[in-house]
Chains A and B, each alone.
Chain A
Amino acid sequence: MTQQLAETIRRAQCGDRDAFSCLVEQHYAAMFSFACRYLGDRQDAEDVTQQACIKLARSIGQFRFESAFSTWLYRLVINCARDWHSSQRPGQHGELDDVPTSDNCEATVLLRQVIGMVERMGEGFRDSLVLVLGEGLSHAEAAAILQVKESTVSWRLHEIRKRLSAQVQPGVDV
């Protein structure tokens, strides 16, 4: 963590409005990008990121510099995404009109399918997948964020690969 970032966080914790504003501005892109990959949907990602920003305002005082700020932020976004998921009524999401019309459509749909399948594999699988393959973190970093052992992350990814390779038909154009 750079000296400068630590200083900004400290000032925000003491109630410095500008410092906090700066902090949010700086990290918004990273949070949003992660939320996008986690949820597979821009609209949802915007909502979740906004919730995460609000949560950040409430809980910035609880950051104790024990881990990297980014690690802490990932955890925050994951928690928000989970809360957001559980607050969604079934059927509210995934209607046909929800299909984005950008030229990225097929990748998005496929990504959502993959995420959905991985989600059904159990708790923590989706988190591990997005952190390692989506965000390019190492297994150790992902393990630190998810507060599990490194081997657990490795095993989850192995399991995901195994099952996906068994399930996605060859010839699917990715």
Chain B
Amino acid sequence: MNNKQLENLFARMDDSVDKEARQRSVAAALQTFDAVQEEKKNTPASQGIVAAHRLTPEQPSIGRRIMQLITATNSARGWLYGAMASAAVLVLGVFIALQIPTQSGLVSENATPDGSNVQSHYSMPARESLALADSSKVAAQASHGSSSLGFHAFSLPEETGPRSSFHASGRDKFDTVDANPVKRVSAEPVSTFSIDVDTASYSFVRRQLNAGFLPQKAAVRLEELVNYFPYDYPLPKDRSQPFSTNVTVLDSPWKAGNKLVHIGIQGYELQGARPRANIVFLLDVSGSMDSPDKLPLVKQSMRLLLDRLHAEDSVAIVVYAGAAGTVLEPTPVKDKQKILAALNRLQAGGSTAGAAGIQLAYQLAESQFIANGVNRIVLATDGDFNVGIGDIEELKGFVERKRQSGVFLSVLGFGQGNYQDALMQALAQNGNGVAAYIDTLGEAQKVLVEEAGSALFPIAKDVKIQVEFNPAAVSEYRLLGYETRLLAEEDFNNDAVDAGDIGAGHSVTAIYEITPVGSDSAVFGGSRYGEKLPSREKSDEYGYLKLRYKLPNEDGSRLISQPIGTQSQSTPEVLREARFATAVAGFAQLLSGNKYVGNWHYTDALKLAQSNRGDDAFGYRAEFIQLIRKAEVANAM
């Protein structure tokens, strides 16, 4: 409906004045006028606060009537009403005080590792249902009219409510997964699981703790917290084996006598000549992006992408909301702090002027054009791309022409609610890029590592880990985390079974807690009738680690294997990283109310994390230490 039609509509409204109605109004107005003048005469000189001079409602308000009820009659009644009112306020106050922590404690992030664990419900509660009821009523009117007068019956879809209601309203659901139990090596010596590079749980936990609340226990996934941090494991020596495996054995900090077996996998870092990259982030910061699984995830994704770029690559940031603007002029990636700072400053708000943003982004990309390099615009949006576009075809044509100039466009979709998949696909195809939908950081990793530059790629897929424990050396074991990633023993050798992927430079950590034979820290009691004595062979090995992976373009899997020795020979660096991972794992167990950590407490986690911070180039670990402190405070409350 355009302006003309609307104007026409207004013009057709019958506004001829009814004489009688006018008479009535004028009479009523004059009556009031007279009354006002009369009041003026009666209180001629008063300039102060006089009730009669104030504009009052036609009838005394309810409040005033209540006050009159109390004051006009005897005072005993007044006391009674007063007491009742006080009691009512007290009850209400207590009620509110009880509600506040639970409600705000549930406001939570939607980002999920694999989508299935969390369902968020966008709240357009009573308001929308009212709107719905209303519009159906109007539609009913319309169809009533049509039956008698014979014009088109039409129904207007209801408004989806104002932008402000695009917030997750604390109804995030997490499947509760019981922590892995302790297992007897004699009963079940083999443990198999898939690696997991998701980190969404950490963001969720961080968000909750920063808000001053402990997160829901089910939201804490240990492996995602541990894998959030980059670990300084040694890089694989050559390209034939895409990652190095580092096994470290430590004493368990939370249970004397137990040991922790760390398995650290470090993906191979891309090396050699790689074309320089000139990348312009075009980010949607309109009001609808103001949702945990949108702008914050965009920022994380961009950070991830940033880590994959070289120091001499150039990055610029253009945002669009009500208007398009350059947030960051093309900046070499070696000034990472500057880029990160610019990213962190972004906030969502306003409407969406995507077309202007795209033009600006192309301008910047062309100004820094690298002849033999990667020139790409990475557009991140939730689909609102409509202000300022006269014609979608025109925009697509624009993108296509620019592609021929050597600047490509990749589109990353975020969030849910108004994602315009078709438009995004069309833009990306015309821009020689890929339209990807990013719901988790794992997805961002996959997409950005593959897409950012032509030389960036995942180095292995379907990575599975299997550990066989030696009954001669280990009596019990427990896998920390990875509850949702467990595999059956036989799946390990079955190449058809899907598992997690690993990207260039990525590190993955898994931790087992074991009870060596002879230690008194076992949770299972001894068996009276005894099992046959395990053979004493190879008692210097706790177990045997096997790792299966496929190269990205292969369908057959390859195997890496190595024993886990009781006397581990780790470098101080790897030891430090393993200790930090232990601190994170311990923290995760505390948050999730795990029963295996005993008297270990947040202060112990804090000490352990602080003493093993390492270089911490990006401040992730410093942030983690703050989180422990916050958890301690929230826990005490």
Using CB atoms and an 8 Å cutoff, list the residues of chain A in contact with chain B. 12, 15, 17, 20-21, 24-25, 28-29, 32-33, 36-37, 40, 42, 45-46, 49-50, 53-54, 56-60, 94, 96, 98-99, 102, 104-114, 116-117, 120-122, 129-130, 133-134, 136, 155, 158-159, 161-165, 167-169, 171-174
Q: Which residue of A has the minimal Cβ distance to B10?
A: A134
B169 within 8 A of A: no
Select which of B12, B30, B351 is within 8 A of A104 by beta carbon. B12
- Cα A110 to Cα B1 in complex, Å, equals 11
Known: A50-B24, A53-B29, A165-B2. A42 touches B162 (CB 8 A): no
Which B residues touch A121, using CB under 8 A?
Answer: 159, 162
Q: Assess whether B3 is in contact with A161, with CB atoms less than 8 Å apart.
A: yes
Which B residues touch A56, using CB under 8 A?
Answer: 29
9 cross-chain pairs, A with B, having the tightest CB-CB distances, nearest first? A53-B29, A57-B32, A57-B33, A33-B15, A134-B10, A107-B12, A50-B25, A36-B15, A53-B25
Known: A162-B387, A172-B154, A174-B8. A32 touches B15 (CB 8 A): yes
Which B residues touch A163, using CB under 8 A?
Answer: 159
Which B residues touch A173, using CB under 8 A?
Answer: 151-152
Q: Which residue of A has the minimal Cβ distance to B33?
A: A57
Q: Assess whether A111 is in contact with B1, with CB atoms less than 8 Å apart.
A: no
Q: Assess whether B156 is in contact with A168, with CB atoms less than 8 Å apart.
A: yes
Known: A24-B25, A102-B14. A113 touches B156 (CB 8 A): yes
Which B residues touch A50, using CB under 8 A?
Answer: 21, 24-25, 28-29
Q: Assess whether A130 is in contact with B12, with CB atoms less than 8 Å apart.
A: no
Q: Assess whether A158 is in contact with B387, with CB atoms less than 8 Å apart.
A: yes
Q: Assess whether B15 is in contact with A21, with CB atoms less than 8 Å apart.
A: no
Q: Which residue of A has the minimal Cβ distance to B29?
A: A53
Which B residues touch A164, using CB under 8 A?
Answer: 1, 6
- List 14 A–B pairs whose Cβ atoms lie within 8 Å, in order of A's numbering: A17-B33, A24-B29, A24-B30, A28-B17, A29-B17, A37-B10, A108-B14, A111-B12, A114-B1, A161-B2, A163-B159, A164-B6, A168-B154, A173-B152
Q: How far is the CB of A125 from chain B (nearest CB, A)?
A: 10
Q: Assess whether A114 is in contact with B6, with CB atoms less than 8 Å apart.
A: yes
Q: Which residue of A has the minimal Cβ distance to B40?
A: A15
Q: Assess whether B351 is in contact with A159, with CB atoms less than 8 Å apart.
A: yes
- Cα A162 to Cα B387 in complex, Å, equals 8
- Cα A99 to Cα B151 in complex, Å, equals 14
Which A residues touch B5, using CB under 8 A?
Answer: 174
Secondary structure at the B interface, as helix, strand, loop or mixed, is: helix
Q: Assess whether A36 is in contact with B14, with CB atoms less than 8 Å apart.
A: yes
Interface pick from B137-145, B175-183, B622-630: B137-145
Q: Assess whether A133 is in contact with B10, with CB atoms less than 8 Å apart.
A: yes
Interface string of B129-152 (1 = CB under 8 A from A): 001001101101110110001011
- Cα A158 to Cα B29 in complex, Å, equals 38
Q: Assess whether B32 is in contact with A105, with CB atoms less than 8 Å apart.
A: no
Interface residues of B in 558-591 (CB under 8 A from A): none
Which A residues touch B162, using CB under 8 A?
Answer: 120-122
Select which of B6, B15, B141 is within 8 A of A133 by beta carbon. B6
Number of B interface residues at 8 Å Cβ cutoff, please give it: 54
Q: Assess whether B142 is in contact with A109, with CB atoms less than 8 Å apart.
A: yes
Q: Assess whether A113 is in contact with B13, with CB atoms less than 8 Å apart.
A: no
Q: Assess whether A99 is in contact with B144, with CB atoms less than 8 Å apart.
A: yes
B394 within 8 A of A: no
Q: Which residue of A has the minimal Cβ distance to B4?
A: A174
Using CB atoms and an 8 Å cutoff, list the residues of chain B in contact with chain A. 1-3, 5-10, 12-15, 17-18, 21-22, 24-26, 28-30, 32-34, 36-37, 40, 55, 131, 134-135, 137-138, 140-142, 144-145, 149, 151-152, 154, 156-159, 161-162, 322, 351, 386-387
Which A residues touch B32, using CB under 8 A?
Answer: 54, 57-58
- Cα A98 to Cα B34 in complex, Å, equals 35
- Cα A17 to Cα B36 in complex, Å, equals 11
Extra A-B contacts (16), CB below 8 Å, given A112-B141, A174-B8: A15-B37, A24-B29, A37-B15, A50-B25, A56-B29, A58-B32, A107-B9, A108-B13, A109-B138, A109-B142, A112-B138, A113-B135, A113-B138, A113-B156, A120-B158, A167-B156
Select which of B12, B25, B156, B322 is within 8 A of A117 by beta carbon. B156
Q: Assess whether B152 is in contact with A172, with CB atoms less than 8 Å apart.
A: yes
Which A residues touch B22, using CB under 8 A?
Answer: 25, 28-29, 32
- Cα A117 to Cα B141 in complex, Å, equals 15
Q: Assess whether A25 is in contact with B15, with CB atoms less than 8 Å apart.
A: no
Q: Assess whether A54 is in contact with B28, with CB atoms less than 8 Å apart.
A: yes
Which A residues touch B10, using CB under 8 A?
Answer: 37, 111, 130, 133-134
Which A residues touch B151, using CB under 8 A?
Answer: 106, 173
Select which of B2, B14, B34, B149 is within 8 A of A17 by beta carbon. B34
Which A residues touch B142, using CB under 8 A?
Answer: 109-110, 113
Known: A109-B141, A165-B1. A58 touches B36 (CB 8 A): yes
Q: Assess whether A96 is in contact with B140, with CB atoms less than 8 Å apart.
A: yes
Which A residues touch B140, using CB under 8 A?
Answer: 96
Q: How far is the CB of B33 from chain A (nearest CB, A)?
A: 4
Counting chain B CB atoms within 10 Å of each CB, the highest count among A102, A110, A173 belongs to: A110
Which B residues touch A171, using CB under 8 A?
Answer: 152
Which A residues touch B18, using CB under 8 A?
Answer: 42, 46
- Cα A113 to Cα B221 in complex, Å, equals 49
Which A residues touch B134, using CB under 8 A?
Answer: 94, 116, 120
Q: How far is the CB of B584 from chain A (nearest CB, A)?
A: 45
Q: Assess whether A116 is in contact with B387, with CB atoms less than 8 Å apart.
A: no
Q: How far is the CB of B157 from chain A (nearest CB, A)?
A: 6
- Cα A120 to Cα B135 in complex, Å, equals 11
Which A residues touch B322, using CB under 8 A?
Answer: 155
Known: A114-B6, A120-B159, A167-B157. A104 touches B26 (CB 8 A): no
Q: How far is the CB of B321 from chain A (nearest CB, A)?
A: 12
- Cα A109 to Cα B141 in complex, Å, equals 8
Q: How far is the CB of A78 from chain B (nearest CB, A)?
A: 16
Which B residues touch A49, using CB under 8 A?
Answer: 21, 25
Q: How far is the CB of A128 from chain B (nearest CB, A)?
A: 12
- Cα A61 to Cα B593 in complex, Å, equals 69
Q: Assess whether A116 is in contact with B141, with CB atoms less than 8 Å apart.
A: no
Q: Assess whether A20 is in contact with B13, with CB atoms less than 8 Å apart.
A: no
- Cα A162 to Cα B1 in complex, Å, equals 9
Q: Which residue of B has the minimal Cβ distance to A43?
A: B21
Q: How far is the CB of B155 from chain A (nearest CB, A)?
A: 9
Which A residues touch B159, using CB under 8 A?
Answer: 117, 120-121, 163, 167
Counting chain A CB atoms within 10 Å of each CB, the highest count among B10, B154, B351 belongs to: B10
Q: How far is the CB of A110 from chain B (nearest CB, A)?
A: 6
- Cα A172 to Cα B7 in complex, Å, equals 16
- Cα A28 to Cα B15 in complex, Å, equals 11
Known: A117-B156, A120-B131, A133-B6. A94 touches B141 (CB 8 A): yes
Q: Assess whether A21 is in contact with B30, with CB atoms less than 8 Å apart.
A: yes
Which B residues touch A130, using CB under 8 A?
Answer: 10
- Cα A117 to Cα B139 in complex, Å, equals 12
- Cα A136 to Cα B11 in complex, Å, equals 10
Q: Which residue of A has the minimal Cβ distance to B41?
A: A15
Which B residues touch A24, using CB under 8 A?
Answer: 25-26, 29-30
Q: How far is the CB of B43 from chain A (nearest CB, A)?
A: 14
Q: How far is the CB of B162 from chain A (nearest CB, A)?
A: 5
- Cα A58 to Cα B38 in complex, Å, equals 12
Select which of B1, B9, B17, B144 is within 8 A of A96 by beta carbon. B144
